Amino acid sequence: MSSSAPDTEGHCALCSEPTTKSCGGCVDAAGIVDDATKTFYCGPACQKTDWKNHKTTCNRLKATTTLYQAGKLLRRLWLVLRPHTAASDLDKVTVEGDKIKVFETVSGDDYVHPKPFALSLFSDDKVKETVLSHMACGDAMMSMRKLTHSILSKRVLDKSTFLATCDGFEEVVLDLKNAQMKVLLFNRKGKHSRYRLLDELANGAIYQHCVFRVKLNATKDWFAIDLTNAQYGLFDTVIPWEEYVRERVKSVLSTNPWGTYNDHVATAMPHAYTESNVRYEDMINFTAKRLDYLVEKWLADKGFTANELIGLKASTFEEKMAEIEAYAANGLAETHELAKECGDLLIMSQHARRHDVKSRLLMVRKVGCEQVGIHV
């Protein structure tokens, strides 16, 4: 994302007259899309004559801008959702240079009875985002998959609009270059024992990172959608795929069909399928479903489609994004307790056996969702 302010004056693309007017179709792209600049015109006559030259660029920039806005929206919604699934009992957060030290007390049943995420410990939004994203790429993939797909996959109804509809949807597992975590996690068991730096981090272990990969219909270009790179000190969400791989990726470990990441985890780590982990996953699923529902309801109440929302002019888009963010935050807060109960039902179903995990998940999800009016 470009950090420099877009130019306010230039020269007409056709006759070279100095002017402050520019093409309204792609004006938002400057400042949002890398390398995008405004296309200036002295007036409608020159703009009309030049359209055959500018059309391709203009449409590419419009579609790409929409995708970047979609990425921004998804990341904001992920950050609204994440405090409800970040099972952690935070005691203290300190910033030292480029490292954030997080001190937490591990009681052993955090996933069973997670404390509310201590948002009050954060005065800086970037520090908060970094901690919320720490080791959370898999969670983001599970939580945000459906919303990402529903926002980006709708058909374009009006051929004159160039929205971020995508027709390639993949889940990619990566080994990142320079993937040094910005967060150092210090645990202690029980109130009186000392904090200890989490061993794997102390030994510099490398974690696999996972991101979405989508192909923008209008341009056939592939993009990474990385909702959790704040854990590595990065705050951009949509990145052209080639650039992403060239600059940030050591190796691509696997490219998987949409919706298969959880299966991959379940197969690779059957030992992780413990009661508390399943309960935790269920809470994530419930909360994600609740977010999907809130977004759909907000859109229906306002008379927007998701496509129309991300295609709005930048200033209106920012305004609407703030509204939907507040609406989702309130809605999730209202059902926070219910999400926990939803998982507790699972714990109570003592008779069920481990091999029956899938059917129990379905049962629990159904009960929990019906309580808030979501039909599954």
Query: Which one, 46 or 176, has the nearer CB to Zn ion?
Result: 46
Q: Cβ 241 to Zn ion, closest distance in Å? A: 24
Which of 30, 33, 36, 46 forms a contact with Zn ion (CB under 5 A)?
46
Cβ-based nearer residue to Zn ion, 31 or 259: 31
Closest distance of CB 105 from Zn ion, Å: 55
Give me the amino acid identity at 35: D
For Zn ion, the closer of residues 22 and 130 by Cβ is 22
Q: Does residue 345 interact with Zn ion by CB under 5 A?
A: no
Q: How far apart are CA 284 and CA 76, in angstroms?
A: 17
Q: Count residues near Zn ion (CB under 5 A).
A: 10
Q: Which amino acid is at 200?
A: E
Q: How far apart are the first and last CA of the chain?
A: 38
Candidates 41-49, 70-78, 112-120, 236-244: pick the segment binding Zn ion (CB under 5 A).
41-49
Contact predicate 149/237, CB 8 Å: no
Work out whether 15 is an interface residue with Zn ion (CB under 5 A): yes
Q: By CB under 5 A, which span of 18-26, 165-173, 177-185, 237-245 interacts with Zn ion?
A: 18-26
Phi, psi dihedral angles at 251 (to 5 degrees): -155, 150
The minimum distance between CB 30 and Zn ion, in angstroms, equals 10
321 binds Zn ion (CB under 5 A): no
User: Minimum distance between the CB of residue 170 and Zn ion, rounded to whole angstroms?
Assistant: 30
Closest distance of CB 46 from Zn ion, Å = 3
Which residues, including other chains, have CB under 8 Å from residue 331's CB and lie 6 or more apart?
A: 290, 291, 294
- Establish if 12 lies at the interface with Zn ion (CB under 5 A): yes
DSSP for 197-225, please give it: E-HHHHTT----EEEEEEEETTT--EEEE
Judged by phi (left if over 0) then psi (alpha if -120 to 50, else beta), residue 97 lies in left
How near is the Cβ of 52 to Zn ion at its closest, in Å?
A: 13
368 touches Zn ion by CB under 5 A: no
DSSP for 116-161 reads PP-GGG-S-HHHHHHHHHTT-HHHHHHHHHHHHHHHH-PPPSSTT-
Identified binder of Zn ion from the candidate list 32, 58, 90, 328, rule CB under 5 A: 58
**Segment near Zn ion (CB under 5 A), from 34-42, 85-93, 327-335, 343-351?**
34-42
The phi, psi pair for 226, rounded to 5°, reads: -115, 100
* Closest CB to Zn ion among residues 12, 70: 12
- Tell which one of 29, 32, 33, 42 touches Zn ion (CB under 5 A): 42
Q: 123: which residues sit within 8 A by CB, 6+ positions away?
A: none
Residue 118 CB partners (closer than 8 Å, separation 6+): 90
Q: How far is the CB of 314 from Zn ion (least distance, A)?
A: 14
Note whether 23 binds Zn ion by CB under 5 A.
yes
Distance CA 219, CA 156 (A): 14
Q: What is the DSSP string of 70-101?
A: HHHHHHHHHHHHGGGT----EEEEEEETTEEE
Choices 16-24, 152-160, 259-267, 345-353 (CB under 5 A): range interacting with Zn ion: 16-24
Taking the least distance from each CB to Zn ion, the nearer of 106 and 156 is 156
The answer to whether 25 contacts Zn ion (rule: CB under 5 A) is: yes
List residues near Zn ion by CB under 5 A: 12, 14-15, 17, 23, 25-26, 42, 46, 58
